[in-house]
Amino acid sequence: MHSEGQMYTSWVNRNYKYTNDKREYAGSLLKAGEFHWNYDATLRHRSGGSFSWHWGTKFCHLDIELGGGDGNDELEISLGFPYILSIWFHHTLPSWIVSRLPQHHYKLPRYQQLSPFDLRPEVQYGELIGYDEGSYPESREISLRIDGLALWWVLWMNDNEWRSTDSRWRRGTFHFDDALLGRNGYLHEKLGEPVQGYVTVLEGDYPVVLQRERRTWWRHRWPWWPFRTVHEAWDVRCDVGIPFPGKGTMSYNCGEDGLYGTAFAVETPEEACERFRDCVVEYRKKYGGKRCAEEPWPQAPVDRLKEHEERLRQRRDEAPPAQAVMPA
């Protein structure tokens, strides 16, 4: 049991790296570490904080935030000097400061709890029995940072939200590369007519459509080399998709997946089809194992094409009829 009025401290060495999913300490605590403290003023109120440091980081920023942290009641200060030192400071704010921050009010409906054994699909919620109302403090941030050849600033704004109506002088970005070279330009061109082809796997041939494309990127004030890039590739599209097992990491990706399209920087459509096939085989081996890559898929391409055409027909039948537009 904790007694009142005691200070608890701890040190953490953050100078580590992961090898084969195992943490290995790579140096001294003096290079990267944290110091935590926690003071139990009463059994109902605790205050504490932490101080972190890391030498040799690439951060360049100054951040001050009031009302941050998980409880929206912390002062957070961070300072970063690129390639030298970065430090972070957190501490619990006094309640009189937290109460003076802007408050966010909420009103959420409260429903009667249903039995977990009630599996009727038409029953989603119980009876409405009231509303939960309350408020919590909104954080306010003052920050100035340089990241990605851009200057970012925030002046007393909520860090957890963004609106298109925010004043630019209070929250904005200035890109040095755009000011010097101009904004990025992009051009997408289709070269020639589409080409019909087939991707051959163990269970059969899948029809695909190949289109030669050229993509060009440049800077408006410097549209020449080295800021001009031209990329030509064959875009391969398969409407029915060539199936392979899902990742299996979540409930929504445990079923069947498929490769429906991608692009390859090759010279001929035959090479693009071969690369497309190699991608499918790689996915089958990665998510289904070696046996899945060496055996044909249970469903033949012809049956898959028939299902695809049936789905398209159903969509056409279910679509609302087009309304005629009377000439003015």
Is 327 inside any structural domain?
no
Indicate if 271 and 247 belong to the same structural domain.
Answer: yes
- Please report the pLDDT score of residue 237 as a whole number: 96
- Please report the pLDDT score of residue 287 as a whole number: 93
Give residue 262's identity as a one-letter amino acid code. Answer: T
Nearest to 205 by CA among 292, 282, 305, 289: 305
Indicate if 172 and 156 belong to the same structural domain.
Answer: yes
Is 147 inside any structural domain?
yes
Task: Give pTM, 2 decimals.
Answer: 0.68
Indicate if 236 and 281 belong to the same structural domain.
Answer: yes
Is 144 inside any structural domain?
yes
Q: How far apart are CA 172 and CA 150, in angstroms?
A: 10
Is 33 inside any structural domain?
yes
DSSP 231-284: EEEEEEEEEEEEEEE---SSGGGSSEEEEEEEEE--SSHHHHHHHHHHHHHHHH
- Please report the pLDDT score of residue 254 as a whole number: 86
pLDDT, tens digit (0-9, with 9 covering 90-100), for 196-245 = 999 999 999 999 999 999 999 999 998 888 899 999 999 999 999 999 99
- Please report the pLDDT score of residue 14 as a whole number: 86
The three-state (H, E, C) secondary structure of 65-97, written as one string: EEEECCCCCEEEEEEEECCCEEEEEEEECCHHH
Indicate if 265 and 304 belong to the same structural domain.
Answer: yes
Give the range of the structural domain holding residue 58, as residue numbers without chain letter.
Answer: 6-114+125-179
Indicate if 139 and 199 belong to the same structural domain.
Answer: no
Reading the block at residue 57, the tokens are 């980081």
Distance from the Cα of residue 63 to its chain's centroid: 23
| Contact in structure between 273 and 198 (CB atoms under 8 Å) | yes
Indicate if 293 and 248 belong to the same structural domain.
Answer: yes
- Please report the pLDDT score of residue 242 as a whole number: 96
Indicate if 74 and 142 belong to the same structural domain.
Answer: yes
All residue ranges of the chain with pLDDT < 70 are: 1-5, 41-46, 112-127, 322-328
Indicate if 73 and 53 belong to the same structural domain.
Answer: yes
Indicate if 164 and 188 belong to the same structural domain.
Answer: no
Is 249 inside any structural domain?
yes
Q: What are phi and psi of 59, to 5 degrees?
A: -70, 145
Is 325 inside any structural domain?
no
Indicate if 240 and 267 belong to the same structural domain.
Answer: yes
Indicate if 190 and 312 belong to the same structural domain.
Answer: yes
Question: What's the number of domains the chain is made of?
Answer: 2
